[in-house]
Structure 1
Amino acid sequence: MSRSTFRRSTIAVILGTGLAIAAPAVASAHVGVSPDTLTADEATVLTFSFTHGCEHSPTTGLRITMPDGLASVSPTVEAGWDIVVERGDDGLVDAVTYAAATPVPSDLRGAVSMQVRPGEDAPESFAFPVEQVCETGVNEWTEIAEEGQNPHDLDAPAPVVSLTAAAEESDAGHASDAGHGESTASDAAASDASEAPDPLAIALGAGGLVAGVAALVVAILAYRRRSA
């Protein structure tokens, strides 16, 4: 193999390796949300985070659109972020914009949060489309997986949280178990009481034992007199 051929092969390998490493990094870049579940009829603080910019351009803001089915939205006041709340005609929050006082470099983690509470007719899941604005460029994390589609196959997925059952249902089960436990404890106490020995029987038994010992002593003394 000539030197030129070897050199071209080496460059191709290096470029291929670089693309292989870069591809997962690009695919994993997104705006995440934590936790990924909401409980019915309960308020939960959601944190939206990112660790990238727009092709390495620092992030200057996030605009998060609220999905239908939320009864209330309360953005968290945090140092380093200015907040603008957009409301609809019904008074509910339609979108929240967080503007960074200082742009967030693409190699640092940025995060904002808000408290939300599902409404009575909440869906099984909530998607929060996010527009990430940078000094140069915009990333729109707005894609929502269709039924049967893997969210990881999306290029720019919107953060999604699912809805879980209200805590009262599980509490009712615990209350039932607790009642069963109390009943079992009462039954055990009653059983112990029925199995407890009768004091009168104990006294009579002790008296009989003493009388028997006395009779034995008398019999031994009488035997010794006859033997003498």
Structure 2
Amino acid sequence: MTNSAMLQSTKGRSMTNRSMLLLLTALGAVASPAYAHVFVQSGPATVGGSYRAVLAVPHGCGASPTTKITVQIPEGMIAVKPMPKPGWTVAVKKGAYAQSYDFMHGMKASEGVKEITWTGKLDNDFYDEFVFSAYLPATLKADVPLYLPTLQSCEQGSEDWAQIPAAGQDPHSLKSPAPIVRLAAASPHDAMAQMAGMVHAGDLMIMTPWTRATPPAAKVAGGYLTITNNGKTSDKLLGGTFTGGSRIEVHEMSVTDGVMKMRPLNDGLEIKPGATVKLEPGGYHLMLMDLAKPFAKGDKVKAQLQFEKAGKVDIELDVNAVGASAPAGGGHAH
């Protein structure tokens, strides 16, 4: 090859490399906005059911560590409960809703959590998630998203993710877009599954009992459900039994001084008149003890709960995947 040909070949490779670098840079620019701001990681939410909102925080304020996350709860998102985080404190502000919402089978909700603040420390080198549960009334429109204005405070400076796009505007064109919850209409299958998961026992209504698949050597499993007391007197969930194990205990998980603790409620879990109590990961839950064999996804576990006044109540827990955070289809848990 002549010197001229070699030079031309080298120039060609250099141009090719530069072109490839420009292409990769362009692709990075296209892909990066989804991770350039605080955003909702948990995907669409079904109208008329519960929702687990996961706020992702991918970076600090420049290189400065995040010390506080404050999220504003939009009108129409009700029965909000934040999930505690080890090493962080959590506080809420409550207030009246702009209107009263149907909250389940004739019940009304007219006030609740309007703001959540987590306080702690997240270095810029790390990513983290902040979680809360909510209920989305059936009156919400599936084609109208909800926005969660979020203030990210840091050791130096802050980022106010609160911009809401105008009609037809691309949210990614905004400098500081508010996290978006996109709503989806409930399918007939979801509605049927919700009805099938309800058990009535006197004034109590028990909904969406479920558990998780377990590893081969596991001897315990968590159980989750929602209980509503439509009566005028309190009742207590004391425990119970289930097929394939010895007993069911009622436990509480909590965070004290940044340390997560779990303890049995030996006196039972009170269900006050007119109240809805949700047993879920990270809070009140059932412990199914002494498993004879592992639970497999798709199984159903027959169980009998023991209440102080309602007595023994037969239920069936759906077994979801290992690590599942909620029943398939979102469930009808409040």
Is TM more than 0.5 here? yes
Q: Does 1:57 align with 2:64?
A: yes
- Greater helix proportion: 1
Secondary structure of the structure 1 residue equivalent to 2:49: coil
Give the AA of the match of 2:151: E
Indicate if the aligned counterparts of 1:53 and 1:106 stay in contact, CA closer than 8 A: yes
Say whether the 8 Å CA contact 2:45–2:181 is kept in structure 1: yes
CA distance in 2, matches of 1:143, 1:63: 15
Give the CA deviation at 1:44: 1.5
AA of the residue aligned to 1:107:
D
Identical columns (%): 30
User: Does the CA contact (< 8 Å) of 1:70 and 1:122 recur in 2?
Assistant: no
| Counterpart in the other structure of 1:182 | none
> How many residues end up aligned between the 2 structures?
153
Give the alignment of 1:62-211 within 5 angstroms.
Answer: 62-89=69-96, 91-100=111-120, 103-123=121-141, 124-167=144-187, 169-170=188-189
In 1, the alpha carbon distance for the partners of 2:78 and 2:137 equals: 4
Could you say if the C-alpha distance between residues 127 and 172 of structure 1 is closer, same or farther in structure 2, counting changes exceeding 3 Å? closer
Q: Is the 8 A contact 2:147 2:181 kept in 1?
A: yes
Matched, 1:37 2:44: yes
For 1:31 and 1:116, how far apart are their aligned partners in 2? 19
* Higher fraction of strand: 2
Q: Which one has more relative contact order, counting CA pairs under 8 Å at least 6 apart?
A: 1
Q: Provide the rounded CA distance (Å) in 1 between the counterparts of 2:192 and 2:70.
A: 41
Maintained 8 Å contact 1:61/1:98: yes
What amino acid is the match of 2:178? Answer: A
> Is the 2:38–2:57 contact (alpha carbons within 8 Å) kept by the matching residues of 1?
yes
| 1:22-47 alpha-carbon deviations (Å, 9 max, x no partner) | x9498542002122211112112111
Query: Secondary structure of 1:43's match?
Result: strand
Deviates more, 1:104-113 or 1:34-43: 34-43
For the pair shown, the structure with the greater C-alpha radius of gyration is 1
| CA distance in 2 between partners of 1:132 and 1:64 (Å) | 9
String of CA shifts for 1:101-141, please: whole Å, max 9, x gaps: xx211110121100011123224211000000000101000
Cα distance in structure 2, aligned partners of 1:164 and 1:26: 26
In 2, the alpha carbon distance for the partners of 1:95 and 1:173 equals 33
Partner amino acid for 1:116? A
Give the C-alpha shift of residue 172 in structure 1: 7.4
Q: TM-score, normalised by structure 2?
A: 0.42
Does the CA contact (< 8 Å) of 1:57 and 1:105 recur in 2? yes
Aligned CA distance change for structure 1 residues 33 and 172 (closer, same or farther; 3 Å): closer
Counterparts of 1:161 and 1:63 in 2: how far apart (Å)?
Answer: 16
Residue identity in the other structure for 1:137: G
2:78 touches 2:113 (CA, 8 Å); kept in 1?
no
SS of structure 1 residue aligned to 2:182? strand
CA displacement, residues 153-186 of structure 1 (integer Å, 9 cap, x when unaligned): 111111101111124x245799xxxxxxxxxxxx
What is the one-letter code of the residue matched to 2:169? Q
| Matched position secondary structure for 1:64 | strand
- What stretches of structure 2 of length at least 5 have no aligned partner? 1-21, 98-110, 194-334
Name the Cα RMSD after superposition. Answer: 2.6
Equivalent residue letter for 2:181: V
5+ residue gaps, structure 1, are 1-16, 175-228
